[in-house]
Amino acid sequence: MMQRLVHKYPVAFFRVHTDTGGEEGNGYMRIAIIGTGAVGGYYGALLQQSGADVHFLLRRDYAHVREHGLQIYSPRGDIRLPEVAAYARPTDMPRCDLVIVALKTTANSVLDDILPHVLAENGVVLTLQNGLGADTYIAAIVGDDRVLGGLCFLCANKEAPGVIRHVDYGLITLGEYRADGKAGGITTRLENVGALLSHAGMEIQVIDDLLAARWRKLVWNVPFNGLSVVHDCLTDVIMRNPETRSLSRRLMEEVAAASAICARPIEESFLDKMMSHTDKMEPYAPSMKLDFDAGRPMELEAIYGIPLRVASEAGVAMPETQALHKKLQQLQGGS
């Protein structure tokens, strides 16, 4: 899988010329953040701090953020934004050239009523979501040629309305969506979006094969999201316990086997790297554990259900993953 790091792009105040000239013909880009939780709040705050014209769509936290703004606590520097462009309804938002979807995949059904109101005529959607299936769902709403996929390697949590704590990491891997499942290549559009995000201080990597990257992220998400819920613990406990550590590795190997049958082989050294990174990571509660502890739906379909079906249809058994999925379904109430 070809990849290249994008370095900072020197554009003053993030005012970036687009091919379409913008909705009002002023040549400047508007950015929408759909879902202002840990992911959307953190990356959206970086964008606004850099001078971007950012518009945030919120639900429960709308009134608080409208009055108090956003607060980011981060080892890379805290960010205080006392005023942000916050909206409770998509119909009140301006049409935006880049729409960043940072919702959990469990809430994707609301996008049918959001994206048609927010996306500019020649705009593009960037989905920063876990697992498989989100790109295809969004493409059905906006068109196959208007979707970019992003994978966040970010440890961050929402501590309170409008308050995000960034713990570690922050890399976003970007790729072009292809409805036929083929590699989309590194396009000019992809590089431009990568450069724009990089200018805001994000670590960005553009890749030629989005689907391969999604399988590679599942290598981490499948073991550590699920095991943190089933064993009610953080990542450091999973890694210290010989039984859960060994199970984590076996789950990784099952994901790699399923990915390989989809013509996306994952080298064993990548699994070693993920284990090593988790060993060094600050004790962390994956997003699925946070959702379960808060009584919210877990992203079982995107992280387990779809990958398991893809593997089964290709004749690949994932018994440990299937068993973990079943336990999670039982904990969530058989959903």
pLDDT value at residue 168: 85
14-38 tens-digit pLDDT? 333 344 444 444 557 899 999 999 9
8, 104, 182, 217: the catalytic one is 217
Assess whether 273 carries a catalytic annotation.
Answer: no
Cα–chain-centroid distance for residue 105?
Answer: 10
* Regions of the chain short of the pLDDT cut 50: 2-25, 335
CATH of domain 3-208: 3.40.50.720
pTM summary value: 0.88
Rounded to whole angstroms, the Cα distance separating 334 from 171 reads: 34
Q: Name the amino acid, one letter, at 66.
A: R
pLDDT score recorded for residue 198: 95
CATH of 213-332 among 1.10.3720.10, 1.10.490.10, 3.20.20.100, 1.10.1040.10: 1.10.1040.10
- pLDDT of the residue at 1: 54
Q: Which residues contact 266 (CB under 8 A, 6 or more apart)?
A: 215, 216, 219, 255, 256, 259, 260
- Looking at residue 333, its pLDDT comes to 86
Q: Name which of 130, 109, 133 is nearest 306 in CA terms.
A: 133
Q: Residue 196's pLDDT is what?
A: 93
- Per-residue three-class SS string for 239-298: HHCHHHHHHHHHHHHHHHHHHHHCCCCCCHHHHHHHHHHHHHCCCCCCHHHHHHHCCCCC
Domain boundaries, the chain: 3-208, 213-332
For 79, the 3-state DSSP assignment is strand
pLDDT at site 150: 96
